[in-house]
Structures are given as C-alpha cells and as structure tokens.
Amino acid sequence: MKCPYCQYSESKVIDSRPTDEDEKIRRRRECMRCGKRFTTYEIVETTPLMVVKKDNTIEPFNRDKLLNGLLRACEKRPVSLKCLEQMVDQIEQKLKNSLEGEVSSQKIGELAMEQLRQVDQVAYVRFASVYREFQDINSFMDELRKILEEKESENILK
C-alpha cells in the first residue's frame, strides 16, 4: 500500500476492524519511511452471476425468481417458506462455488428439482411439469413412474 504522503510502498497495519455494515474492513496503517498514518478500506469484489436462458439471452441471477417458482410448486403443500429460502441459498451457493460467471437456466432448474425431490415429491412433479414443459399426460406419467420406481428400490434396500 503506497503512503499518500511520501509514496513509499511499505506500511504496517496498526489497527483493523470491520465497518458498521460489515461490508468493508477499515485498516489504520503507518508508513515505514515517514511514519505518518493513514486509513484504507478493503472490500470483497464479487462478480455477478449471470444466467443464460433457453433463448440464449443473458440476465443477472435473481434469487426471487427462483423462490417464486418454488413457492408456486409448493402451493398448498406442507413446505415452509424457511425451507424454500434455504433451498434457494443452497442453490445460489452451489452456483457461486462453481466459479462460473455464467450458468444455464437448465442447470438452475435441475438443482431446484434435485432439492424439491428430497423435500416434497408432489411439489417436485409440479415444478418438473413446468420446467420440463410436459406436453401430455404420458410425459407426466413417465416422471411419476420414475419416482415410484425409486421409492420401491429404497424400500427393498431397507
């Protein structure tokens, strides 16, 4: 860190503390050459997560859109808002941890279905029917058969 007074590039940190909003770190420094003190602020740089939609348009990730989709799928189901918010948090964290700047809406949908499948199978089928754009009753029945087969294999293993 360059000293604003003498431009010397070495300084030592005397005090370090978070700001009121906990978004920045305030550091009190002392120049190793002239001894004058100055304050610096550090912030974490984050790159926005971008979503590539089916039509190849790109828009910023919007957790509210994902939460609203999950809410619609869970309407009149015994799934709490807190549970849905935790799902969105987990999905968002997975996406950010992948270190990809752009993620497809398909991947987000798959992660949401994976979470819903574990929480409520009716909500899962509702979400899948919209997400996978079921065209007829047969595609709906195919998804239900998959769930039933998984349940049967789980029961056999127990």
What b/e sequence results for 109-141 when a residue is b if at least 16 CB atoms lie within 10 Å of its CB, and e otherwise? bebbbebbbebbbebbbbbbeebeebeeeeeee
Q: 127 and 119 in contact (C-beta within 8 Å)?
A: no
Residue-level pLDDT at 158 = 62
The predicted model gives 19-26 an average pLDDT of: 82
Residue with more model confidence, 150 or 50: 50
Residue 19 reports pLDDT greater than 90: no
The model's pLDDT over 35-72, given as tens digits with 9 standing for 90+, comes to 999 999 998 777 789 999 989 999 999 999 999 999 99
pLDDT tier, 29 (very low <50, low <70, confident <90, very high otherwise):
very high
The model's pLDDT over 103-143, given as tens digits with 9 standing for 90+, comes to 999 899 989 989 998 899 889 888 887 777 766 677 777 77
- The reported pTM is 0.63
**Separation of alpha carbons 30 and 11, rounded Å:** 5
**Separation of alpha carbons 133 and 6, rounded Å:** 65
The predicted model gives 19-36 an average pLDDT of: 90
